[in-house]
Each structure stands twice: as structure tokens, then as C-alpha cells.
Structure 1
Amino acid sequence: MLTAPAAGAKGSSEPSPVVELDGPRGVDVDQAGRIVVSEADGTVSLVIDRGRHPKVHEIGSVPAGFLAPAVAAGRPGQVYALTAGGEPDTGAATLYLLRQGKPAKPIADIAAYQQGDVDPFNTEGVPEESNPYGLAALKDGSVLVADAAGNDLLRVYPDGDIVTVARLKPRMVEVPEELPDEMDGEPLPPAGAVIPAEAVATSVTVGSDGYWYVGELRGFPATPGTSQIWRIKPGSRDAVCDPEKPNQGTCRRFADGLTSIVDLGPGSHGSVYAVELVKQSWLQWELGLADPPVGGLFRVRPGGSRTELAAGQLILPGGVDAGRHGRLYVTGPVFGPGALSRIG
């Protein structure tokens, strides 16, 4: 990790690098205003963004995966880290508790839980597959986990018990015109065909209104403009987020029309910040159709209206959280050399 002096004018809407990081993704601001960040090798650190020379303190580390873990600041002195997908009992797909100077403590094996909590709406892959991707801490000491393979939101208690809060159903989408005729030697559905696409729950945050918000990436064919944000009543269990009935039950649609959401952060007055990995969709990036892979950061207000911030300036962003004095912190690119940056 390399520290870097803050650049740019205070209040600027342009990203201003705070510290350089390798493959940064997770970001969360604790009660003291310190920023928790994660890197591709599993390192989790605290960043104090004051003055011209920010200070960085390593908290600990968790097993490295195919990308940096998600992080969340819990009660004072506690930080949670969530490793991405893998098999049970491997250290992957696991929630850890970190305390300064102590080894990471595994709290819950998410992959093991999903073996018995299969996705009833699965349309591709293995129904019991797990790829926990998003994380948010609650005041009672429990945490929320968004599982991108299980297409659900889980709640993990301090003793390791897990309950399923909500399941996100697939939605019917049109195959976009930009895709090739085949991929990996297999023919793709023709442009305009309507097929089911999984939700891929990547992100979760607790809004300023206390509700729980979940964001979608959107599975194959990753049609742009089909990612939703769901608003879930706190304390819910076994709720269903249904795009065919988006205004019923304890999980209701908050916003639609976004693309490849990978993180959410709380905003003021009931708004939510949403990070798009690639505005043309993650699939078009993987196919080499989005170069450069420009992502997006939006403030989404109740009712679904949104404003883009730092337009055209974020490459493969991974995370966002709100700090003090109207500042936002974003991480990225999620692969290779990157930074924790400040906006505002």
C-alpha cells in the first residue's frame, strides 16, 4: 500500500486520490470518520483522511480471493470482512471479524449455509452456489450479506446464526443488440429475444430511513438498464423481491433502469448512492466491447430519479460510502493498481 497526498480542490466533483491501493473494492466509513478499505490480497486497513498526508493503519487480513473482500465497520473497534465465492470450509465465501492486532476470526461460512438454502428461482449454474459480495453492519451487532450467486439477502448474527431476509427473483429481459452471435463456441440468443436473467444481488446498505437496500448486477445477458434497487423492511425474513409485483410485500422496488450495480451507500433524505461497474454492462466489458470500461456513480432519490457524479471519470469502480461534510469515498479500479478517492 502506498500513501498519496490528497489532490484537487475541496468540494470538487472530480475524484481526488487519497491513498493508492492494489485492487481496491470494499469501503466503509466508521463512526469516527475513518475509512475502512480492502485490497486484492485480502488486506483491510483504516485510512484517516485529514490534512495533506492521510494516514493508513493496517487492521489485518483475510484469505485472498479473485477480488478484494467487502468490508463494514461494526461497533467501535470491530470491522467485518467478507470473502468472495468459493467452496465451503476453504476460507472463501466467509464472514470474518477483525480487531486491531488480532487474527481474523471467522464468524460464518456463507457457502456452507447456502448448501441448505438453495435458490428456488435459479435459472443458471448451481442452485446452492454462493458468492457473497455485499456487506452492511447493523447496530445490534448483526450484519447483512448480499449473495450474488444465491440471489438473496442474508442476516448473520454475532454467534454465526444465519437467516434469509429476502430472495430476489429473475426478470425477463431483451437480449441486447451489441452481443456477438456466439460466446465460447456456443450460440447466443438473437438480439431482441426475451429471456429470464437472474438478479445477482451484489450490494446492500442501510438507508438514512433505516430500511435495507439491495442492488442487482443482472445476470446473463446483462442487458443495460435492467438493474434494480430494492427497499426491504427492517427485520424481514423470507421476503420476495419480485419484478412482476414490485410494489407488494415487505420488499419493494426503489429504483430501476441502472446497469451492473456492484455497491450501494446511504445518502441523505432517503437517497442511496449506487455504483455501476461498467455502464455498458459487465458482460460487454468481458467481451471487450466496453473499452475503456467506464463505470458510474449515481445518487438515487426516492421515486427513482438519479444524478450522476464524476461522470466519465471512474474506471471499474468497486465501492462507495458517504463520509463527513458531504464527502463521498469511492474505490477502484477493482483489478490492478487503484486508489481510494474522495468526491466533494
Structure 2
Amino acid sequence: MLEKIAVAATAATLFTFSVAEAVQAASFTVLASGLDNPRKLAFGPDGALYVTEAGRGGSGPCLTSAEGVSCYGTTNAVTRIQNGVAERVLTGLPSTAFLNGDSGSGATDIAFDNAGNPFILLSWIGTPEQRASDSRFSPFGTLVRVDNLNSNPTFSTIADLEAFEVAQNPDGGEILSNPFSLLIEDNTAFLTDAAGNDALRVETNGSNLAVQSVFPPRFVPSPFGGPAFSMQSVPTSIARGPDGAIYVGELTGFPFPQGQARVYRINSNTNQPEVFATGFTNIIDIDFDLFGNLYVLQYAANSLLSPDRTGALLQVSPTGERQTLIMDGLIAPTGLAIDSNGNIYVSNNGLKAGLGQVIRISQVPEPSAALGLLAFGALGATSALLRQQNQHKSATKGIFF
């Protein structure tokens, strides 16, 4: 049976590409283990791989939500993996987590500017009122710069994303913010706010915080019968494509339908999101390799409505062909990175304290770089020519953080 990937050419027309039946062609090696709720990864200027750990919370103060009780601590960390050694190089950051340490919230992504300075995005599981209830919660929902990472690090708040959501509420829905993924290029930070349903941008000096794009809700059939649900986008990943455009992947909100998550391409002229590829489930991260292949990491391949947290890593070629590289062993994966040699790295067991991993995935040989980039260029040119209801919003962001 053939699956389909849809690539948008206009708002009314979709180009569809037949793709081969999914195969599992990869295996993995564990590079780091014992991590506390690992999240996203990035390569630093030193060539090392850095992974954010959301931490295991602590003794309080505590927050109560629909998902349970989460308590504050300073157990958040950043781990560096270099020359086969995994070492926590930054500790003591704010964290919240369930009483057993799972489902941590805190450092969710890391990126580096042109000068090699690391920036960390801190997620937030609560409401604006809860953040304001205790000064210890104030660092959550912000973008911070770390100076002197390897010796006496200091922190500077670059942007308060929670405050921006309160003041602007770009999607016009419930006022909630959960910063989730980060991209820095030419000293501009681009990020997604999963609970805010938008992408934002800000200069790395803290100036010009603004909306990059908003991802509107759409109606999907109810899995329970009856009226359709207004499903929120919940953008969880951001990457720069080979065509120079910004791409965003969505988790989707309740009812988390299988095959309904999308990858969007943000139109550089209008800043509007255009559907680039469809047919995914609960996207948690995306990235591109040097051949122009898109990689899509699914947090729960069988939907968040299922208790099964088996994830999946999919590869989409520049011509739209798709294959599932690996599912076995991926449990609640939360981050994806690809190095210059095409090696793939994933944060695994991303909701568990003490059980989190970073793994390296080996895969089948790639097509030639020239062929891949040529095909992607044609596809990108085609796209460039044409340009839950609120109650489920807080539940969605609370699932991870």
C-alpha cells in the first residue's frame, strides 16, 4: 500500500507524491544515558553535541494542573557530548516536574549565535497567573543567553515570551505560552511557542521581538463521533530548509489524530504558513540533511490518545518519497539533530527522569548530494511561486513540560 505526502503549491491545490511503503532500515547506538527529561539538541562551535535536560523538579513550590502536581527545583541542566564522553556542563537551572521527577519543564532547546554564545529556551507548563505567583517561576517562558559557559556562567534574559503572549496573544485564543524550539541565524533567534500557536523572532541582543507567523486551528473529525473538533496546531519544531525558507512542524492539539500533523513552510514575503508536507502524527522535531532530505521525528506515532509512546523517525526525500527509518526503541523521543556527516542524533525517553538518552542512528546510504539538492530546489521553487477547543490547549502543553 502506498502512503502519500502532500506538498502545497497554492491554498487550493496540493501536489501529492507517491512514496514507498514504510521500512525500518536503521539501528542506533546510545551515546548518553541517565538523563533527566532530555529535550532538544544542537551542535556547538566546538563541534560537541549539546542536549538540554528539563530536570526533575524539586521540593517546591508546586503547581497543580489537569495533568497533576509539578514542583519546582533547580535540577535543570545542559549536557555536552564530545569524544565519547557525556558531561553536564551547566547545572542549577530552574525546573518543574511531577513528584516522581517525570515530565520535567525547563530548558527545552539550545542554539548558538555567530560568536559562539549559547542561548537556552525555557518552557513553562502553567498559566501567566501561576508564573506571577512566585518569583522563582519568573525565568520560565523566556529566552536566555549564557555567558562563560565553561567557567562561572552568567545568564541574561533576552526575551520574555510569556509576557509577550500576555500582551499580544497573536493567535487570539487562550492566553498561554510554552516556548518550545529555537533556531539562531545571523544573530536573529527564531522560536516556536507551542501553546501560543505561533513562531516568533527576536534579535539576540533582545531587540525587535515580533511575530514571525501564526498557525491557525482547523477542524478535524471527532474520534468519538459527533461534531468535528477545532484542533490547534501546537508548533513544536523549527528548521531552516535548503531553499532558505523556515520550516515548522506541529504536534497538533486534541484529539491528536493520526496522520494529521503537518510541516509548514513560512512564506518569506508574507510570513504566512504554507502547507509543505502532510500525513504525520504528533511531530516533535524536524531537520534537514545536506542532501535536502527532510527528517521528521514523531513523538507518539500511534497518537497521544493512545497510551503507546513509541515514536518514529521518518525521512522525506526532495521528491516526496517517504520512509520510516526507525521505530523500535524510540520511546517518547523529543529532539533531533543531524551533523555535517549525515549522522542523526535523537533525544530518547524524553519524559523520564534518570532514564533519558541521546542516541545516534545509523541509516541506509543516501542518494547523491547533487541529485537530492537539484530535486529539492525544483520543489522549493514550486512552493515559492504560489504562495479544541481552548480547554485542550493547556492540556496539550502540559503533556511534555
- TM-score bracket for this pair, using the shorter chain length: 0.7 to 0.9
* Residue 218 of structure 2 is aligned to residue 168 of structure 1: no
Indicate how the Cα distance of structure 1 residues 327 and 333 shifts in structure 2: closer, same or farther if over 3 A, else same. Answer: same
Indicate how the Cα distance of structure 1 residues 120 and 146 shifts in structure 2: closer, same or farther if over 3 A, else same. Answer: closer
Moved over 6 A (4+): none
Structure 1 gap segments, 5+ residues each: 1-11, 177-189, 242-251
Indicate how the Cα distance of structure 1 residues 62 and 303 shifts in structure 2: closer, same or farther if over 3 A, else same. Answer: farther
Give the counterpart of 2:307 among 260, 280, 290: 290
Compute the displacement of 1:60 (Å): 5.0
Compute the displacement of 1:61 (Å): 5.1
Whether the 8 Å contact between 1:227 and 1:261 is mirrored in structure 2 is yes
Question: Which whole-Å CA distance do the structure 1 matches of 2:196 and 2:254 have between them?
Answer: 15
Alignment RMSD = 2.1
Give the counterpart of 1:310 among 326, 331, 338: 326
Indicate how the Cα distance of structure 1 residues 120 and 310 shifts in structure 2: closer, same or farther if over 3 A, else same. Answer: closer
Whether the 8 Å contact between 1:255 and 1:303 is mirrored in structure 2 is no
What is the match of residue 132 of structure 1?
179
What is the match of residue 277 of structure 2?
255
Question: Which whole-Å CA distance do the structure 1 matches of 2:252 and 2:226 have between them?
Answer: 17
Whether the 8 Å contact between 1:202 and 1:215 is mirrored in structure 2 is yes
Q: Residue by residue, what CA displacement relative to the aligned partner does 1:80-101 show, whole Å, maximum 9, x if unpaired?
A: 1111124366111100112312
* Residue 124 of structure 2 is aligned to residue 78 of structure 1: no
Compute the displacement of 1:256 (Å): 0.5
Whether the 8 Å contact between 2:50 and 2:110 is mirrored in structure 1 is yes
Indicate how the Cα distance of structure 1 residues 309 and 121 shifts in structure 2: closer, same or farther if over 3 A, else same. Answer: farther
Amino acid at match of 1:226: Q
Question: Which whole-Å CA distance do the structure 2 matches of 1:121 and 1:104 have between them?
Answer: 32
Find the residue that maps to 1:269 and give its secondary structure. Answer: coil
Q: Residue by residue, what CA displacement relative to the aligned partner does 1:129-187 show, whole Å, maximum 9, x if unpaired?
A: 1111111111x1111110111111000112323110101111221122xxxxxxxxxxx
What is the match of residue 302 of structure 2?
280
Question: Which whole-Å CA distance do the structure 2 matches of 1:174 and 1:129 have between them?
Answer: 25
Indicate how the Cα distance of structure 1 residues 115 and 33 shifts in structure 2: closer, same or farther if over 3 A, else same. Answer: same
What is the match of residue 111 of structure 1?
162
Structure 2 gap segments, 5+ residues each: 1-24, 56-75, 97-103, 133-137, 363-401
Indicate how the Cα distance of structure 1 residues 120 and 39 shifts in structure 2: closer, same or farther if over 3 A, else same. Answer: closer
What is the match of residue 64 of structure 1?
95
Question: Which whole-Å CA distance do the structure 2 matches of 1:120 and 1:278 have between them?
Answer: 25
Find the residue that maps to 1:111 and give its secondary structure. Answer: helix
Question: Which whole-Å CA distance do the structure 2 matches of 1:92 and 1:69 have between them?
Answer: 10
Give the counterpart of 2:258 among 224, 249, 258: 224
Compute the displacement of 1:270 (Å): 2.9
Whether the 8 Å contact between 1:80 and 1:98 is mirrored in structure 2 is yes
Find the residue that maps to 2:163 and give its secondary structure. Answer: helix
Indicate how the Cα distance of structure 1 residues 306 and 192 shifts in structure 2: closer, same or farther if over 3 A, else same. Answer: farther
Give the counterpart of 2:40 among 14, 19, 26: 26
Identity score, percent: 29
Whether the 8 Å contact between 2:45 and 2:116 is mirrored in structure 1 is no
Amino acid at match of 1:78: N
Amino acid at match of 1:210: G
Amino acid at match of 1:114: E
Which is further off, 16-25 or 28-37?
Answer: 28-37
What is the match of residue 37 of structure 1?
51
Compute the displacement of 1:76 (Å): 4.2
Q: Residue by residue, what CA displacement relative to the aligned partner does 1:41-87 show, whole Å, maximum 9, x if unpaired?
A: 22113211x3xx42535045532143342222333431111111243
Find the residue that maps to 1:134 and give its secondary structure. Answer: strand
Whether the 8 Å contact between 1:216 and 1:228 is mirrored in structure 2 is yes
* Residue 142 of structure 2 is aligned to residue 94 of structure 1: yes
Find the residue that maps to 1:169 and give its secondary structure. Answer: coil
* Residue 242 of structure 2 is aligned to residue 208 of structure 1: yes
More helix by share: 2
Indicate how the Cα distance of structure 1 residues 98 and 61 shifts in structure 2: closer, same or farther if over 3 A, else same. Answer: farther
Whether the 8 Å contact between 2:242 and 2:288 is mirrored in structure 1 is yes
What is the match of residue 59 of structure 2?
none
Question: Which whole-Å CA distance do the structure 2 matches of 1:120 and 1:57 have between them?
Answer: 37
Amino acid at match of 2:122: T
Whether the 8 Å contact between 1:137 and 1:143 is mirrored in structure 2 is yes
Find the residue that maps to 1:209 and give its secondary structure. Answer: coil
Question: Which whole-Å CA distance do the structure 1 matches of 2:282 and 2:111 have between them?
Answer: 21
Question: Which whole-Å CA distance do the structure 2 matches of 1:103 and 1:111 have between them?
Answer: 22
What is the match of residue 30 of structure 2?
17
Question: Which whole-Å CA distance do the structure 2 matches of 1:312 and 1:133 have between them?
Answer: 25
Q: Residue by residue, what CA displacement relative to the aligned partner does 1:264-305 show, whole Å, maximum 9, x if unpaired?
A: 1222333322111101122x1xxxx333x1011112234543
Give the counterpart of 1:339 among 352, 357, 379: 357
Whether the 8 Å contact between 1:121 and 1:170 is mirrored in structure 2 is no
What is the match of residue 203 of structure 2?
157
Question: Which whole-Å CA distance do the structure 2 matches of 1:203 and 1:212 have between them?
Answer: 10
Indicate how the Cα distance of structure 1 residues 339 and 277 shifts in structure 2: closer, same or farther if over 3 A, else same. Answer: same
Whether the 8 Å contact between 2:237 and 2:250 is mirrored in structure 1 is yes
Q: Residue by residue, what CA displacement relative to the aligned partner does 1:5-33 show, whole Å, maximum 9, x if unpaired?
A: xxxxxxx9212100112211121123443
Indicate how the Cα distance of structure 1 residues 301 and 254 shifts in structure 2: closer, same or farther if over 3 A, else same. Answer: farther
Find the residue that maps to 2:95 and give its secondary structure. Answer: coil
What is the match of residue 396 of structure 2?
none
